[in-house]
Chains A and B, each alone.
Chain A
Amino acid sequence: MSATVSPIREPLIRGSKTYHQITEDLCAPTERTPSAAWVIAFILAVGGLATYAFCLLWTVWNGIGTWDLNRTIGWGWDITNFVWWVGIGHAGTLISAILLIFRQKWRTGVNRAAEAMTIFAVVCAGQFPLIHMGRLWLAFFIFPYPNTRGPLWVNFNSPLLWDVFAISTYFTVSILFWYMGLVPDFATIRDRATGLRRRIYNFLSFGWTGSAKHWQRWEAMALILAGLATPLVLSVHTIVSFDFATSIIPGWHTTIFPPYFVAGAVFSGFAMVQTLMLMTRKILKLEEYITMAHIESMNKVILLTGSIVGVAYLTELFIAWYSGYIYEQFAFYNRVFGPYWWSYFGMMSCNVLSPQIFWSKKMRRSIYVTFVMSIFVNIGMWFERFVIIASTLARDYIPSSWSYYWPTWVEIGLFAGTLGLFFTLYLIFVRVAPVVAIAEVKSILKSSGDQYTPSTRETVGEEAVRKSNLDY
C-alpha cells in the first residue's frame, strides 16, 4: 500500500504511532481545558485586538488626517502593512497546493495551520486598503455592481481593482480549500464527542460519513483546487506588485517586480509559518507530528526564496545603473543612502544576509536559530515594503515636494492591532479545530511513520535512528 519512499528519508511521524494514537494526539488540543500559556496568549491577543478597534474608530471618527501621510507620501504604513500581510498569506496555499501537486509528504504536518494562517493574514491584509480609503462605509464602491450613479462602473484597467479581485478570489478559494480539509477532521472530533459538542461538530462536519465514493471525490477536489490555487497564489502577489509596477514612479516601474514580490511573499509566509509552528508544536505538544524534518524543509524554502529576493535587490541596483536613466539611478541611490537608509540596511541584513546561515545543516535543524531567523525575516520583509513605498515616494521628481514621513501612534496602533487580530483568530482556531490534518497524517503513516521505515535502521544504523529520534 505504502508508496515507495527512499530508505534514507527521515520519518515524518515520530514515536511509532497507530491510527488511533494519531486521532488521540491531534484531537487532544481541542478537547482539553486550555493551558495557562494559551490563556495568557489569548489575553494578550485580545488586548491587541482592542487596540486595533480603538485605533480604527479613532481613524474613522477623526479621519485619515490622524496619520502622518502627506501630499508627497500618500502611502505609508497602511499599504506597507497590507503588502506585508498579503505576503505572509502566501505560504499556506503554497504548502497546501503546490506541495500537494509535487507530492511532498511533509506538507501534511503543517498544511492545516499554514492554511489557517493564510486566511487570517489575508483578513488582516484586507483591513488596510479598506481603512486607507478614509470613508470605510463606502468600501462597497470597489465592487462593480449596477448602481444609480450612472451606472458608473469601476475602472477595470486599474491594477488597484485587479487587486480587489485577486485578494477576494484568493480569500474565497483559500477558505474553500481549508474547509474541505477540515470536514473529515471535524467528523473525527464529532464521533468522539457527546451532547451539544457533538451537535456542533456534526453541523461543522456537514454530516461526513467517510464513504469510499466521498473520499474519492474529496481527493479529486483537493487536486483540482490545488491546480487552480497554484496559478492563483502566483497571480495574487504578481497583481499586488502591479500596484507599483504599472505606475510611472522611478523605483516602482520595473518588470522585475512580479517574480520578486512572489518570492518575497513565499519567503515571509514561510517565516511566519515557522514562528507559529515552533510555538504551536511546543505548546500543543505536537513535536512528533511537526518534526525537525518539517522545520528543516521549510528552512530550505526560506534559504532559497531569501536568496531569490537577494538576487532581485542586486539586479534592481544593477539595472538602475545600467539603464543610464538618472531618475532611476537617483531612486536607487536614495534607497540605499537617502533618509530611509536604515530601513534599506534592515531589509538587506534581515532578508539577504541572515538567511544564508541556513546553508549549515546544523543551523537549519536548530529550533532557536530557526525561531530567531523567522522573526528576522518577518521584520526584514516589513522593511522591504516600507523601503519600496515610503523611501521611493519621499523623493519624487520635484525637490520642492520632497518630504519625510514618520508614523503617528494611530498608525502604529493599527499595525500592532492587526497582530492582535491575527493571533486572536489563530488561538481560537487551535482550540476548535485540529491543527494538524488528522486524515492526511494517517494516510502517510505507513510510508513515513518511523516504525514503518525499518530500512532506515538498516541503512544508517540503529544508533543513528535513536540519535535522530532524540533531537526531534
Chain B
Amino acid sequence: MVHTEGKSKVLYGLYNDDEVLLKAISEANHRHLDIMDVFTPFPVHGLDPLLGLEESRLHQAGFVYGALGTLTAFLGMSWIFTRDWPIIFGGKPYWSVPAFIPITFELTVLFASIGMVVTFYTICGLRPGVVNENLDDRISDDKFCVAFDTTHASDAEVDELNDFFQATGVEEVNTKWI
C-alpha cells in the first residue's frame, strides 16, 4: 500500500519529442485542462507562453542586489576614508572618487550575482540535501512530461485526461503519488 497522506495523485504522460509536447499543450489549453506542471530535460522554447508563465522577475531582484552592492562599496569606502580613518595617499584628496570606481563595480556585480543565485535556488526550492521525488527518471534524459493533479478528480475527469493523452500522441501514461 502506497503511503498517500499529504501527497498528490499525479497522472502524467511522457512524450518523446519537444515539438509533440508543444502541440499537446496547445491541445490541453484548447480543452481547458488544468496542467499541474511540465517537466523537460532541457529548456523548451515556446513553452512559457503556452503554459501562461509570466516572465521571471529575477532581473528586478538582481537590480536591487546590485544597487545594494554599489552603495555598500561606495559609501563604505567613502566613510572609511573621510570619517573613520582619513589617510593621504600620494597627495590625493581623502575622497578620491575615481579610485573607488573599480571596487564599486566589482561589488555591484558580486552582490547582484550572489543575490540572484541564492534567490533562484530559494524560490525554486532547490538546495543541497533536498530530495524531490521525480515522476520518472527519464525526464532528465529524453522524455517530456505533462502532469495533472488527479487527487480529487472524478473517474470522468481522469478519462478525459486519458483521452487527451491518447489524442496527442503520448508515449506512455502513468499515475504516481508524490
Which A positions have Cβ atoms within 8 angstroms of B?
Answer: 1, 18-20, 23, 144, 150-153, 155-159, 161-162, 165-166, 168-169, 172-173, 176-177, 180, 183-184, 187-188, 190-192, 202-204, 206-221, 224-225, 228-229, 231-232, 235, 239, 242, 439-440, 442-443, 446
A residues less than 8 Å from B159 (CB atoms): none
Q: Which of B4-12, B55-63, B148-156, B165-173 contacts A (4 or more CB under 8 A)?
A: B55-63
Cβ distance A111 to chain B, nearest Cβ, rounded Å: 14
Indicate if the CB atoms of B107 and A165 lie closer than 8 Å.
yes
Which residue of the partner chain A has the closest CB to B61?
Answer: A224
Chain A, Cβ-Cβ closest to B43: A215
**Within the assembled complex, what's the spacing in Å between the Cα atoms of A338 and B24?**
73
Q: B22 an interface residue at 8 Å Cβ cutoff?
A: yes
Chain B residues within 8 Å of A218, by CB: 43, 120
A150 to B106: give the CA distance in the assembly, Å. 26
Contact A442-B41, Cβ < 8 Å, known A169-B107, A210-B139? yes
Q: In the complex, A177 Cα to B107 Cα: how many Å?
A: 17
Docked-complex contact A156 and B141, CB < 8 angstroms: no
Residue of B nearest to A437 (CB): B42
Docked pose: A210 CA to B42 CA in angstroms: 7
A85 CB to closest chain B CB (Å) equals 19
User: How many residues on chain B are close to A (CB under 8 Å)?
Assistant: 67
Contact check: which of B59, B89, B141 meets A188 at CB < 8 Å?
B141
CB-nearest residue of chain A to B99: A157
Complex Cα spacing A208 to B131, Å: 9
Q: Which residue of B lies closest to A207 (CB)?
A: B130
Tell me, in angstroms, the Cα distance from A162 to B110 when the chains sit together. 13
Q: Nearest-CB distance from B66 to chain A (Å)?
A: 8
Is B126's CB under 8 angstroms from A206's CB? yes
Q: Convert B106-134 into 0s and 1s, putting 1 for each residue whose CB lies closer than 8 angstroms to a CB of A.
A: 11011011101100110111111111101
**A210: B residues at CB distance < 8 A:** 39-41, 139-140
- A212 in contact with B56 given A1-B19, A172-B113, A217-B124 (CB within 8 Å): no
Q: Could you pull out 13 A-B pairs where Cβ atoms are within 8 angstroms?
A: A1-B19, A23-B142, A155-B87, A156-B99, A157-B92, A165-B102, A188-B141, A191-B141, A204-B128, A206-B121, A210-B140, A211-B38, A225-B117
How close is A442's CB to chain B, nearest CB, in angstroms? 4
Contacts of B40 in A (CB 8 A): 210, 212, 215
Interface residues of B in 86-112 (CB under 8 A from A): 87, 89-90, 92, 96, 99-100, 102-103, 105-107, 109-110, 112
For A190, what are the chain B residues with a Cβ–Cβ distance below 8 Å?
A: 140
Shortest CB–CB separation between residue B118 and chain A, in angstroms? 9
Contacts of B102 in A (CB 8 A): 159, 162, 165-166, 235, 239, 242
CA distance A219 to B47 in the complex (A): 13
The interface residues of chain B lying within 8 Å CB-to-CB of A157 are 89-90, 92, 96, 99
**A-B contact sample (10 more), CB < 8 A, given A162-B106, A224-B58:** A165-B106, A168-B110, A173-B113, A176-B117, A209-B139, A214-B124, A220-B56, A221-B120, A224-B112, A235-B105
Residues of A within 8 A of B42 (CB): 184, 215, 439-440, 442-443
Interface centre among A203, A210, A239, A443 (most CB of B within 10 A): A210
A265 → chain B closest CB, angstroms: 17
Taken together as a complex, chains A and B put the C-alpha atoms of A152 and B85 apart, in Å, by 7
B89 CB → nearest A CB, Å: 5
Interface string of B72-90 (1 = CB under 8 A from A): 0000110011001101011
Across the interface, name the chain B residue whose C-beta is closest to A441.
Answer: B42
Smallest CB–CB gap between A186 and chain B, Å?
9
When the two chains form their complex, are residues B140 and A184 in contact, meaning their CB atoms are under 8 A apart?
yes
Q: Which of B45, B113, B123 contacts A225 (CB 8 A)?
A: B113
Q: How far is the CA of A152 from the CA of B86 in the complex (A)?
A: 10
Q: Is B37 an interface position by the 8 A CB rule?
A: yes
B89 proximity list for chain A (CB < 8 A): 155, 157-158
Q: Which residue of A lies closest to B110 (CB)?
A: A169
Q: Check if B58 sits within 8 Å of A232, measured CB to CB.
A: no
Residue numbers in B under 8 Å from A153 (CB-CB): 80-81, 84-85
Q: Confirm or deny: B2 has a beta carbon within 8 angstroms of a beta carbon on chain A.
A: no
B99 touches A220 (CB 8 A): no
Cα(A153)–Cα(B56), bound, Å: 40
If A209-B134, A211-B38, A216-B56 touch, does A187 touch B140 (CB 8 Å cutoff)? yes
Q: Please state if B106 and A216 are interface contacts (CB–CB under 8 Å).
A: no
Q: Which 7 A-B pairs have the closest CB atoms?
A: A207-B130, A19-B142, A206-B126, A191-B137, A220-B56, A157-B99, A162-B102
Q: Does B53 contact A (CB under 8 A)?
A: yes
Q: Does B138 contact A (CB under 8 A)?
A: yes
With an 8 A cutoff between CB atoms, is B67 at the interface? no
Residues of B within 8 A of A152 (CB): 85
Identify the closest chain A residue to B90 (Cβ).
A157
A contact residues around B92 at 8 Å (CB): 157
